[in-house]
Amino acid sequence: MSKYRVLIDANDEKGLVYKVSTVFYNNDLNILSNSEFVDKENNKFFMRSEVDGDIEALELEKYLKEVLPSTSSIKVIEPKKKNIIIMATKEMHALGDILIRHESGELEANILCVISNYEDLGSLVEKFDIPFLSISHINLDRNEHEDKILECLSLYDNLDYIVLAKYMRILTPRFVETYSDKIINIHHSFLPAFIGANPYKQAYDRGVKIIGATSHFVNNNLDEGPIIAQEVIHVNHAYSWRDMQRSGKDVEKVVLSRALKLALEDRIFVYANKTVIF
């Protein structure tokens, strides 16, 4: 008995759910869960199903391709732990939260290593028996530093996601394109507000009443990639910007871990710089 996650992204037309369900029925598959969404403005259909039964993944994919439009994206995924690498700088709250959740078995992931441009987080990571690699950027230009990181990443086969747990360096287009839709970032504000450096100071100067955090896929526009998860908390006039920053760290770590969990469970569809999440 095998279990699969079936992800379908297609141009919408009548009968798609019927066609997919018929394939499941004809192959004696049991539907464990099912979610659908139609974006009527863009005529896009999305479907995520969890099924189990006696069939090979490639065979199920073949049957689905036979009944769905030729332009459809069809993925039949056997649930298993995904391989991730975490990149960080000096702040430990987001990284620490992921490491604890991983240690407790909360995340369907193998953390292959943690990479940082400083050595500060090494002692934390080593407590979890995970390799820690310090790749310094000192005396290197951005491309030279990225060359070293990319060389390191190339040693790991089947890398599913790179998680930027407060990695405070802007990635070049070359890096982003190498791992398109595979880099998950946490931004310390409720995007699209307060993009860039020190958003808590920006928020304080603006007199905001809520602050938040946004996790998103990285693209070549700073902090403008497809949004995966967001959260906010209330603040008031008594908060300094450093108070906001301290409170914001709690939101950041929760939002990043939530976004990572969604990715690991194959719940995210990316299109038109947006996400559909089941």
Span 147-206, pLDDT tens digits: 999 999 999 989 999 999 999 999 999 999 999 999 999 987 665 567 666 777 887 888
Instruction: Please tell me whether residues 146 and 195 are part of one structural domain.
Output: yes
Q: How far apart are CA 252 and CA 200, in angstroms?
A: 12
Instruction: Please tell me whether residues 101 and 170 are part of one structural domain.
Output: yes
State the chain's maximal CA–CA distance in angstroms.
63
- State mean pLDDT over 22-39: 97
Instruction: Please tell me whether residues 205 and 256 are part of one structural domain.
Output: yes
Instruction: Please tell me whether residues 59 and 89 are part of one structural domain.
Output: no
Instruction: Please tell me whether residues 67 and 87 are part of one structural domain.
Output: no
Instruction: Please tell me whether residues 43 and 173 are part of one structural domain.
Output: no
Q: Find the domain containing 67 and state its range.
A: 2-77
Span 43-79, pLDDT tens digits: 999 999 999 999 999 999 999 999 999 999 999 999 9
Q: Provide CB contacts within 8 A for 104, sequence distance 6+.
A: none
Which of 77, 109, 141 is the last residue before a domain boundary? 77
Q: Provide CB contacts within 8 A for 40, sequence distance 6+.
A: 12
Instruction: Please tell me whether residues 183 and 212 are part of one structural domain.
Output: yes
pLDDT higher than 80, residue 244:
yes
Q: Look up residue 168 and give its amino acid.
A: M
CATH number at residue 44: 3.30.70.260
For the whole model, what pTM was predicted? 0.92
Residue 83 Cα distances to 34, 54, 176, 233, angstroms? 25, 26, 18, 32
Q: How far apart are CA 35 and CA 51, in angstroms?
A: 12
Of 12, 52, 120, 223, the catalytic one is 223
Instruction: Please tell me whether residues 195 and 118 are part of one structural domain.
Output: yes
Q: Look up residue 70 and give its amino acid.
A: S
CATH number at residue 134: 3.40.50.170
- The residues with which 262 forms a beta bridge, in sequence order, are none
Residue 118: closest CA among 161, 168, 164, 162: 168
Catalytic site residue 223? Answer: yes
Instruction: Please tell me whether residues 111 and 223 are part of one structural domain.
Output: yes
Paired tokens of 68: 């769905």
Which of 30, 52, 77 is the last residue before a domain boundary? 77
